[in-house]
Amino acid sequence: MIRFAAVQDVAEIHAMVRELAAYERAAAEAKATPEQLRQALFGAHPAAYSLMAEDDDTGEVVGFALWFPRFSTWTGTRGMHLEDLYVRPHARGGGHGKALLAALADICLRHGYERFEWWVLTWNEPAIGFYRALGAELLDDWTVCRLSGDALEGLARLASAAGPGSGATDV
Active site amino acids? 131
The span from the CA of 119 to the CA of 141, in Å, is: 13
- Helix (H) / strand (E) element for 117: namely strand 115-118
The DSSP secondary-structure symbol of 74 reads T
Parallel, antiparallel or unpaired: strands 61-72 and 77-87: antiparallel
**Helix, strand or coil for residue 4?**
strand
Q: Which residue from 5, 108, 109 is spatially nearest to 48, judged by alpha carbons?
A: 5
Edge-to-edge strands, sheet with 49-54 = 2-4, 49-54, 61-72, 77-87, 115-118
In sequence order, which residues have a C-beta less than 8 Å from that of residue 50 and are 6 or more positions away? Answer: 4, 5, 9, 13, 41, 64, 65, 66, 67
